[in-house]
Amino acid sequence: MLDPQDPQDAQDPRDPLREMFRQVAASGQARAHAVPVARIAERARRAHRRRVALAAGAACLVLAGGGMTAAALLSDAPTPVVPAVSPSADAPSPRETTSPPLSSSTAPGSPTKDGPAGDPSATTDPSGRVTTSPP
């Protein structure tokens, strides 16, 4: 199969490396054959199972993430409210209320002149609240 018009063949018609490559190519062509259809079908089924398993796993992850997000957004736990203005040290606390001014004739723990609704047994305790004693 030497072609005298091919420049490579014209230079050295007995190149040993070229002849070995031609023998290997002829041997490979003689042994080459098509893969059986059953083997190709099995590989396709295996690849399909892998793709389906991957898609199912991804769908589970998406659903789980969506469920967790929905649960977090719809939970009834109130978020803490931050005060608009920080309290100053000079402002009285809500428990520290100023007691009403006492008249000079009324001392804490003593009956008032009129009492609430005209009750003479009403007294004012030290915190300024009016209390009535039982009859």
Domain ranges of the chain: 15-72
| Tens of pLDDT, residues 76-105 | 777 778 888 877 777 566 665 566 655 555
Q: How many CA atoms lie within 13 A of 92 on its CB side?
A: 6
Q: How far apart are CA 124 and CA 113, in angstroms?
A: 11
Amino acid at 44: A
Task: Measure the CA–CA gap between 33 and 37, rounded to whole angstroms.
Answer: 12
Residues in the chain where the model's pLDDT stays below 50: 112, 115
Provide the pLDDT for residue 91: 59
What pLDDT score does 1 carry? 52
Q: DSSP labels for 2-53?
A: --TTSHHHHH-TT-HHHHHHHHHHHHHHHH--PPPHHHHHHHHHHHHHHHHH
